C-alpha cells in the first residue's frame, strides 16, 4: 500500500523506501475532467507518514519555477500562471487565484513537463 506523496512530507530521506505510482489528480473529484484528464507518475512513501508538518507552502518548492493551474468544481481548467522566484509570491498568487469564486482549487505543477506536485484548496 502506498502512502502520502513524498514531496508533501518534505521529500524522502536517503535510504528511505518510496514507491512510484500512477495518479490522476482530477479523477478523484472532478465530474468531467475533460482534456485535463491525465495519469502521471507520483513518488509516495512506502510506509505511513504523518504528512506535512504544517499547511504552509512547502519549503522544498519555494524558489523553483512552477506553474499554477486553476480548476473549477467540474475539473475544467480556468487559467494559470508561471511562478518564478524565492519569495512568498507563490502563496500570494495561489491565494489570489482562489479569490475567484469560480476557482475550486489550483494545481501546482513542474514547468518542464507539467508534472503534478500538489494542489491548493480554499
**Over the stretch 17-73, which tens digit does the pLDDT of each residue have?**
888 889 888 887 888 877 878 888 888 888 887 777 777 766 666 667 788 899 998
**More reliable by pLDDT, 1 or 27:** 27
Per-residue pLDDT averaged across 73-82, rounded?
88
Does the residue 76 lie in any domain? yes
Does the residue 23 lie in any domain? yes
- The pLDDT of residue 89 is 60
Closest CA to 61 of 5, 110, 114, 112: 110
Number of independent structural domains in the chain:
1
Task: Examine the pLDDT at 5 and tell me if it is beyond 60.
Answer: no
The model's confidence at residue 87, banded by pLDDT at 50, 70 and 90, is low
- The pLDDT of residue 90 is 64
Does the residue 101 lie in any domain? yes
Q: Which of 10-14, 64-68, 117-121 has the lowest average pLDDT?
A: 10-14
The model's confidence at residue 118, banded by pLDDT at 50, 70 and 90, is confident
Does the residue 30 lie in any domain? yes
Does the residue 71 lie in any domain? yes
Average pLDDT, the chain: 79
In order, the DSSP letters of 21-44 are EEE-TTTTT-S--GGG---EEEEE
| Domain with 107 in it | 7-48+58-121
Does the residue 69 lie in any domain? yes
Per-residue pLDDT averaged across 3-30, rounded?
75
Helix (H, G, I), strand (E, B) or coil at 71: strand
List the Cα angle 89/33/27 in 5-degree steps: 90
Q: Which residues contact 17 (CB under 8 A, 6 or more apart)?
A: 45, 46, 47
Does the residue 103 lie in any domain? yes
Distance (Å, whole) CA 75 – CA 94: 17
Does the residue 53 lie in any domain? no
Do 70 and 78 touch, CB atoms closer than 8 A?
yes
Q: Which three cell numbers stand for residue 120?
A: 491548493
Helix (H, G, I), strand (E, B) or coil at 70: strand
Do 73 and 28 touch, CB atoms closer than 8 A?
no
Q: φ, ψ for residue 110 (rounded to 5)?
A: -70, 145
Amino acid at each position: 500500500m502506498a502512502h502520502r506523496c513524498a514531496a508533501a512530507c518534505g521529500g524522502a530521506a536517503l535510504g528511505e523506501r518510496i514507491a512510484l505510482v500512477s495518479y490522476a489528480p482530477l479523477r478523484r473529484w472532478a465530474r468531467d475532467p475533460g482534456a485535463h484528464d491525465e495519469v502521471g507518475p507520483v513518488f509516495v512513501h512506502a510506509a505511513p507518514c504523518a504528512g506535512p508538518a504544517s499547511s504552509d507552502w512547502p519549503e522544498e518548492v519555494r524558489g523553483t519555477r512552477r506553474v499554477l493551474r486553476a480548476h473549477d468544481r467540474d475539473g475544467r481548467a480556468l487559467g494559470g500562471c508561471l511562478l518564478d522566484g524565492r519569495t512568498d509570491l507563490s502563496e500570494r498568487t495561489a491565494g489570489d487565484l482562489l479569490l475567484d469564486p469560480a476557482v475550486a482549487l489550483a494545481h501546482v505543477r513542474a514547468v518542464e513537463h507539467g508534472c503534478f506536485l500538489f494542489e491548493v484548496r480554499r
